[in-house]
Amino acid sequence: MSTFEKEYQEKLVSAEKAAEIVKSGDFVDYGWCVTTTVAFDKALAKRMPELTDINLRGGILLWEPEVFKIENPEKHFTWNSWHSSGLERKLISKGLGFYMPLRYSEMPRYYRDGGAKVDVAVMQVTPMDEAGYFNFSVSPSHMMAVCEVAKKVIVEVNKNLPVCQGGFEHAIHISKVDMIIEGDNPMPAILPAPTPSEVDMKVAELIVEELKDGCCIQLGIGAMPTAVGSLIAKSNLKDLSVHSEMYVDSFVEMAKAGKVTGAHKNSNRFRQVFTFAAGGKEMYEYLNNNPEIMAAPVDYVNDIRTISSIDNFISINNAVDIDLFGQVNAESAGPKHISGAGGQLDFVLGGYLSKGGKSFICLSSTFKTKDGQLKSRIRPTLQEGSIVTDTRANVQYVVTEYGKVNLKGKSAFERAKLLISIAHPDFREKLKEEARKLGIWKD
């Protein structure tokens, strides 16, 4: 038995034993997205009724943790989300949690500077390798920073998680781990790929025609970025690169179609870089021990300096709505929380600073309310309570199914005129009227 194997056995405990270290008033980090704890969560759920004032942290939940299923959970803990999935939106609306506004790239520093108290950190990892390391799998994200400041570090081993090769901070050594749990080895959670609509495909076509051989792609989550990836896979583009906050199914489709080589990438040449991944079974299999993959911490991947150093960088992200001044909301429906800041602003800024780079904000021109009313996503001003994700000074291209416009350097009137030109025809005259009232229109 090697020294590491001996240490492994000494630190190996049941999930129930690990959960015993949590006490009332503790802050517990629950992992991130696909690597959110499972076995520890089940054990803590059994204990939670005897605890109070617990603060749990995590984000992009793909399933409902067991702790949320106990009776009167709000009396025992608060869920604190760094970025919210649909499930978390429901939890927040019920008063079981809150979103914590922060640029995703800033999270590691926030932890390391002492901003986040961490009594217990727990996350799923891959089995220990011969050198004594547990791989953070598809979620290196901010995990190393969390572990560095945590009073206790618990890893939950899952044999079915893919091993994602990296450059740094993609794995933790057993010497830095306090407890090891061997869970039930669940398969990685599936994030179903959205089915693009006709509108999504039209927007994607307008974006793809702006791309050229050798550019580097970042895709956000959603049907429109998925449509972009699918069109790229079917296009004549070649020698593309990948550097993206989130790795999604579309990148696998592009790579398997031979579109991704990384040959012209300024940094991390030939490697596809990301900070977390979520998707389907095919994607997880593709990522596993693939030397072309580089899973790295978010303060590197999303750093504006890193992004802007890559020539011909293309940033593609969604928005909820935009106003005639060019302010983009990608986080809320009025005051109602949807997702979070994430890395959108970093990629909008970094994309434009990149030599030959471009940043695209895409959205459908309209949406329907629950009672069937058609509403414009291009608004005179953002709805009261809406969050400004990207300020008007940051935005470059905006794309709807009716066209694409470049707002950089444009006056208030020019912006309004351009945005109205890509609004749904049924709303253009009304938007002009509102623009006049706002003093940003001339006849």
Task: Please list the active-site residues.
Answer: 245
Which residue shows structure tokens 């504006």?
Answer: 304
Phi, psi of 216 (to 5 degrees): -110, 130
The amino acid at 436? R
